[in-house]
Structure 1
Amino acid sequence: MDRKALGQQHFTGPMMQLSESLKGTIQEQDWPEFNPEPIVHYYQSMIAESLPELIEQSLDDTDIADLEPDQVQCFGLLVLRDMFRRFHKRLRPNEADSSWVDPLFSQIAAKHDLPSEALVDDGKPYDVKDLNAPWAGSLGALMGLPGGELVRAQGKALQSVQKQTAAATPAKPAAAAKPATPMLDDEDEVEYRRGGFFSSAPPWMVSSLVHGLVLLMLALVTLDPVQIAKNVLTVTPTDEAGQEMEEFSLEQIEPDSMEEEMIEEPVVSPPTTVQAVEAIEVETPDAVLMVGTEMPDMIDAIAPMDSLTQSLTAAMEATTEFSARSTDMKKELLKKYGGSEATEAAVTKALEWFQRHQLPNGAWNLHHNIACGNKCGNPGDEKAKDSFNGATALAILPFLGAGQTHRQGKYKSVVQRGLMFIAGNMKVKNQGGLITGDCRDGAGNMYSHGLCAIVLCEAYAMTKDPALAKPAQAALNFIAMSQHKTGGGWRYSPGQEGDTSVVGWMVMALKSGHMGHLVVPPNTVRGASLFLDRVSADNGVYYGYTSPAKKPSMTAVGLLCRMYLGWDKENPSLQKGVDYLAKIGLNKNDAYHNYYSAQVLRQYGGPHWDAFNKNMSEWLVDSQESTGHAAGSWHFKSGHTGGRGGRLAITSLCTMTLEVYYRHLPLYADKAAEDDFPL
């Protein structure tokens, strides 16, 4: 067994089990005032950085293999208890003393069958000034670690907690401000840093412990436990398509106020030859509605998590889930799933249209005529003028789908400027110790955030650019914090009961983050599944907007989410739902429906996909604008999507529909291309 596997088995695994017990035991206490922030900073400094580095320096492979789970857990329990004793007032501000700490850790020890005598001591905080302190010798012997270095590690970790949480602690008289046992002096800290001891942790354990830390935080400060409930609502589906809420609901419009039309039109064959399109320079409009593009000070805003995120990034392995977008794989998948030179030429023309409509500050706008002087026509409505973030995400997604990133490709400068705009306009907050990044803007609400989160996660997964790790994770954290606590969904505002349209974008963001090895809380994923249960009809065959119904577009969204949440191809409800979507086929008045149906049918494959793809690809290639400034774009009657989002939104959805062949690897191949969510 190699060193990485040894470390994971004999240290990381037992320590993660202890962390789960700590989380669960705290939740059992029902302490509404509990502040988990000191745990985060201690866990980061000691458990995820200093301790692994000390193990790396002090133990060989045989020593690590000899570590027993109870040794590791007893060690972790004792150092954590010391931190709790010192910072009991910051953990539970309403408690006068630390009398609650020892009973808490006795409960945790009992869960792991650790001997009670192992917890017996004098009840005083550890002395972190004396490198020969007796506690360090006995505690270090548990794992074969040098006592002096253990004193330094504990002292540094406690000092980190003290500094990072000082601002949140109420002011006290000077005499009471000093802790019972002094922390390290500045000169001591300088000496430790000079020795290089507190360098980054070895990669054999960082990823798992980092994930454990963030999951611990999310569990302690966000959602109520998800209750697994069975849908007791009964709906009798009919053959009527019904009225349906479409995408880009940038204001609260009820689904009953919209109609869904199914109009049959003749299919037009694609051209036999495709002309190459030369690169086009970006035009600078005479008058542009400018929005600031300065990057927020992410380092300061995310300081408590900064080294943690860097360690996570350094430890990651190459991602393969988005490799379908690479040149060689794209050619193979295009051929296998029915793409053509004509569909790829249409994608290229669309990217050039997006390039021409990027604003000087890197953004796009649904009211795209501000970039071209209304040369194209059909902008989004007036309320869409403030939706810069959502529009920018819609424009970048087709570039990423085509394999174009900010690090490689013909359009890398276009993508880079767009990513900088999104990250620069993110509202970063510290919510109970968890860093969140809010990308809502204008009338775009949670739609804008979900789209931006997908962009950040996909761009990070495709490039592993460390600069994107923190904003991508912060965007995912905001999704977790914004989920409805009992219903499991998302809608216009954080905490609001969900609708299927918004949930679809959020699930795709979570999936993209998971594929990029970012932290996705299992409770958040389970909540999304619970929401889908509540809006499904006929045992999950059909889906409604906010309640069980049989609505074509919502059914396409719901079934795609089910696929990504783990339904296998043999699921009877999935099979029946696919038959339903195949019967509806292409809707030439609903780009949103086509976008989701194409993904469901392509992932499922077979004759249904072949028939849908033939109609879809031929119609999109033929209906794309071919002349004038609008060349490369689409616009047609498309319900609320076309009215609110205009030409830019429809062009984005149509382009991504033509990228369906390679945007994601097949879910139902012989070997799963993408790991399941952590349920």
Structure 2
Amino acid sequence: MSEHQFEDISLREPEVLDEIEELFREDNFFTRFGAMMRGFAAARDTKDYKTAIQEAQRLWAPACAILIPLVAMTVLFVMAAGQTTRQVEVAVEYITPEELPDLEEPEQPLEQPPMEFTPTDMTMVTDVAMPMITTDFASTVPDAMSAQPAAMDSVLQIKSPIVMRGVVGVTRGAGMRAKMLKTYGGNQQTEEAVMRSLRWLKKKQRADGSWPNNRVAMTGLALLTFLAHGEIPGATSPEFGETVRKAIEYLIRVQNKSSGRLTSSYAHAIATYALCEAYGMTMNPNVKEAADKAINVIINGQNPMGGWQYKLEPSDPSDTSVMGWCAQALKAAHLANAYYDTEALELCMKKTVRGFQGNYKKGGGFGYTGPAAGGLSSVGTLCMQLLGAANSTEVKDTQTLMDSWRPAFTAAQGGHAGNTQYYYYYATQAKFHSGGNRWKSWNEKMWPIYVREQKIEKKAIEDAAGVMQDIGWWENADGSTDRPVMDTCLAALQLMVYYRNLPTTQETAVKTDSGTAASLDSAVDRDDVVVDLGNL
């Protein structure tokens, strides 16, 4: 190499190095982004534009890695900031402890005339006879009661002056009983008659916790009678707590653990009603398990028209008498939250209204398995009231029909022919829920008759303090009954109507739901009735 060539290379060395450096230089993001944007501004057939397309493809992935999380976080922040907290209001009443005055004695005590009955031939409107059960359940059913260990006298007790309206049994405490007795027309004489009947039932309870003769049905009715007075297992009810505990345990023990059936027909529905109320007042998990299974039998046994009959199977027709006990059981289950599937329970209740409508007679009245205006009119009226249809035409017209009914203990005394007390168990409650003069005029004549008709045995049982007390029971003239337990329970429950439940005429007991009709239409594909489940 000549000296001249070497000098030429030396002179060009910086330029060559710059070219090499340019080949390996990596522009930063912003430089590349600026070049890309200038390339997009150039003509499409130029090299700069094509280079910009390639650069955009290379920059797309890192841009998404930054922008997508940023956008997602922004959206979440905006959504969270825009949400409002849902507030749930619960109506409560603060009860101030007060001294309750003694109830006034009536100015003229009622005399107890001798019992006189004139045998008469009566046409039976419906057969509510329940076959006697002779099976010894205690020897065939294992003692195991539940996978959830809890003593039957385990009761959820909340010591608080706050009373939540609508909870099962909230009106049945001693203080509320006295207040509601005075408000709705009860008195000391009605309460004394009730106490005598509870003591009679306690004395007649069998060792296994049941009552004769139809043991499941009568145990259910007796349990409902004690619960109506606010009696629950444990120290809260020193005189009757043990009686209630044994009754609950009996019903749980005889229930078929796999199918949930206690028996069929009336007995299952009555016992289910009692178990649901018992759970609502005790919150005992053993009771809820039994109530849930028993309610499931009723829901699955409902026919397409919305009713039930003896077998509690979907193929049965709609029997208003059986439907009455099923409807009361469903209402109690809903109040107590005793069934696991609330949606299915509410749909069943809505369909039950359809079932009663199917047996309604235009102009007023409910029949046995079809339209009529007999004694079962009271069953349809009460149950539609409890199921939220108190303002329906069916209920209003039937209330007018029942205005001609006279308070009485038997048909011979002027009561509705047939199974007078069975009909009046429903009629008394229906008139109570109607309120106003309809209830006042009925009650003024009803309670003296029931107090007078009670049979009394003096000093027959000790109370919780060891003092001997009277017992009392009733024996009516119904053709289809399980005497005397059923007779006594039906009468006692009527004398506890004052505080057993809030009247459905009160705003605290009934809440209108404007969306109920639409939900009912979609559920059963009909659009001719509005059912209010707000009070359930």
Q: TM-score range by the shorter chain?
A: 0.5 to 0.7
1:490 is aligned with what amino acid? W
Query: In the TM superposition, what is the alpha-carbon distance from 1:663 to its structure 2 partner?
Result: 0.9
Q: Deviations over 1:570-597 (max 9, x none)?
A: x444233222212112242221111110
State the partner residue of 1:426. 255
Measure the CA separation in 1 of the matches of 2:171 and 2:181.
10
2:383 is the alignment partner of 1:561:
yes
Structure number with the higher helix fraction is 1
Q: Deviations over 1:294-346 (max 9, x none)?
A: 6654546x99xx9xxxxxxxxxx976242111111111111111101000000
State the partner residue of 2:37. none
State the partner residue of 2:90. none
Measure the CA separation in 2 of the matches of 1:293 and 1:332.
46
Measure the CA separation in 2 of the matches of 1:599 and 1:470.
29
State the partner residue of 2:358. 534
Measure the CA separation in 2 of the matches of 1:320 and 1:525.
19
Q: Deviations over 1:257-276 (max 9, x none)?
A: xxxxxxxxxxxxxxxxxxxx
Measure the CA separation in 2 of the matches of 1:458 and 1:660.
15
Contact 2:180 2:498 in 1 (8 A): yes
Measure the CA separation in 2 of the matches of 1:290 and 1:467.
19
State the partner residue of 1:574. 395
Contact 1:624 1:633 in 2 (8 A): yes
2:190 is the alignment partner of 1:343:
yes
Contact 2:168 2:277 in 1 (8 A): no
Query: In the TM superposition, what is the alpha-carbon distance from 1:66 to its structure 2 partner?
Result: 4.0
Measure the CA separation in 1 of the matches of 2:240 and 2:182.
24
Query: In the TM superposition, what is the alpha-carbon distance from 1:528 to its structure 2 partner?
Result: 1.1
For 1:125-164, what aligned pairs fall within 5 Å after superposition?
none
2:382 is aligned with what amino acid? L
Measure the CA separation in 2 of the matches of 1:615 and 1:242.
25
Measure the CA separation in 2 of the matches of 1:324 and 1:500.
29
State the partner residue of 1:476. 295
Comparing 455-464 with 630-639, greater Cα deviation is found at: 630-639
State the partner residue of 2:475. 635
2:432 is the alignment partner of 1:605:
no
For 1:95-244, what aligned pairs fall within 5 Å after superposition?
243-244=124-125
Query: In the TM superposition, what is the alpha-carbon distance from 1:292 to its structure 2 partner?
Result: 3.6
Partner of 2:447: helix, strand, or coil?
Answer: helix
1:658 is aligned with what amino acid? L
State the partner residue of 1:291. 138
Measure the CA separation in 2 of the matches of 1:568 and 1:245.
24
Query: In the TM superposition, what is the alpha-carbon distance from 1:426 to its structure 2 partner?
Result: 0.4
Partner of 1:404: helix, strand, or coil?
Answer: coil
Q: Deviations over 1:637-662 (max 9, x none)?
A: 11212xxx111110110111111111
Aligned residue pairs total 364
Partner of 1:501: helix, strand, or coil?
Answer: helix
Contact 1:582 1:601 in 2 (8 A): no
Measure the CA separation in 2 of the matches of 1:296 and 1:529.
38
Partner of 1:626: helix, strand, or coil?
Answer: strand
Q: Deviations over 1:152-176 (max 9, x none)?
A: xxxxxxxxxxxxxxxxxxxxxxxxx
State the partner residue of 1:501. 321
Q: Deviations over 1:445-479 (max 9, x none)?
A: 32111111111100110121222111111111111
2:307 is the alignment partner of 1:467:
no
The structure number with the bigger radius of gyration is 2
Partner of 2:219: helix, strand, or coil?
Answer: helix
State the partner residue of 1:39. none
Partner of 1:487: helix, strand, or coil?
Answer: coil
2:125 is aligned with what amino acid? E
Query: TM-score when scaled to structure 1?
Result: 0.50
State the partner residue of 1:583. 404
State the partner residue of 1:491. 309
Query: In the TM superposition, what is the alpha-carbon distance from 1:63 to its structure 2 partner?
Result: 8.9
Partner of 1:640: helix, strand, or coil?
Answer: coil
Measure the CA separation in 2 of the matches of 1:498 and 1:575.
22
| Cα 1:547–1:568 shift into 2, 3 Å | closer
Partner of 2:265: helix, strand, or coil?
Answer: helix
* Structure 1 spans left out of the alignment, 5+ residues: 1-61, 70-203, 205-240, 252-287, 307-316, 367-386, 430-435
Query: In the TM superposition, what is the alpha-carbon distance from 1:249 to its structure 2 partner?
Result: 4.6
For 1:7-406, what aligned pairs fall within 5 Å after superposition?
66=80, 243-250=124-131, 291-292=138-139, 297=144, 299=146, 320-366=167-213, 387-406=214-233
Measure the CA separation in 1 of the matches of 2:404 and 2:444.
14
Partner of 1:550: helix, strand, or coil?
Answer: coil
Which of 494, 499, 507 in structure 2 is aligned with 1:657?
Answer: 494
1:247 is aligned with what amino acid? V
Contact 2:475 2:483 in 1 (8 A): yes
Partner of 1:428: helix, strand, or coil?
Answer: coil
Contact 2:273 2:329 in 1 (8 A): yes
Contact 2:146 2:286 in 1 (8 A): no
State the partner residue of 1:182. none
| Cα 1:388–1:677 shift into 2, 3 Å | same
| Cα 1:632–1:67 shift into 2, 3 Å | farther
Which of 540, 546, 556 in structure 1 is aligned with 2:369?
Answer: 546
Contact 2:279 2:338 in 1 (8 A): no
Partner of 2:489: helix, strand, or coil?
Answer: helix
Partner of 1:562: helix, strand, or coil?
Answer: helix
Contact 1:405 1:463 in 2 (8 A): yes
State the partner residue of 2:273. 454
Query: In the TM superposition, what is the alpha-carbon distance from 1:515 to its structure 2 partner?
Result: 0.3
Partner of 1:632: helix, strand, or coil?
Answer: strand
Measure the CA separation in 2 of the matches of 1:64 and 1:356.
69
1:660 is aligned with what amino acid? V
Contact 2:124 2:479 in 1 (8 A): no
Measure the CA separation in 1 of the matches of 2:390 and 2:123.
28
| Cα 1:290–1:448 shift into 2, 3 Å | closer
Q: Which runs of 4+ in 1 moved over 6 A?
A: 62-65
2:335 is aligned with what amino acid? M
Measure the CA separation in 1 of the matches of 2:446 and 2:131.
27
Partner of 1:656: helix, strand, or coil?
Answer: helix
1:492 is aligned with what amino acid? Y
Measure the CA separation in 2 of the matches of 1:609 and 1:242.
28
Measure the CA separation in 2 of the matches of 1:450 and 1:64.
53
Partner of 2:388: helix, strand, or coil?
Answer: coil
Which of 331, 345, 348 in structure 2 is aligned with 1:511?
Answer: 331
Measure the CA separation in 2 of the matches of 1:639 and 1:567.
31
Contact 1:290 1:361 in 2 (8 A): no
Partner of 2:138: helix, strand, or coil?
Answer: coil
State the partner residue of 1:621. 451
User: How many percent of aligned residue pairs carry the same amino acid?
Assistant: 26
Measure the CA separation in 2 of the matches of 1:68 and 1:297.
53
| Cα 1:527–1:349 shift into 2, 3 Å | same
State the partner residue of 1:439. 262
Measure the CA separation in 2 of the matches of 1:421 and 1:627.
28
2:202 is aligned with what amino acid? Q
Contact 2:168 2:335 in 1 (8 A): yes
Measure the CA separation in 1 of the matches of 2:250 and 2:297.
18
Measure the CA separation in 2 of the matches of 1:248 and 1:349.
26
1:654 is aligned with what amino acid? A
Contact 1:398 1:655 in 2 (8 A): yes
Contact 1:293 1:420 in 2 (8 A): no
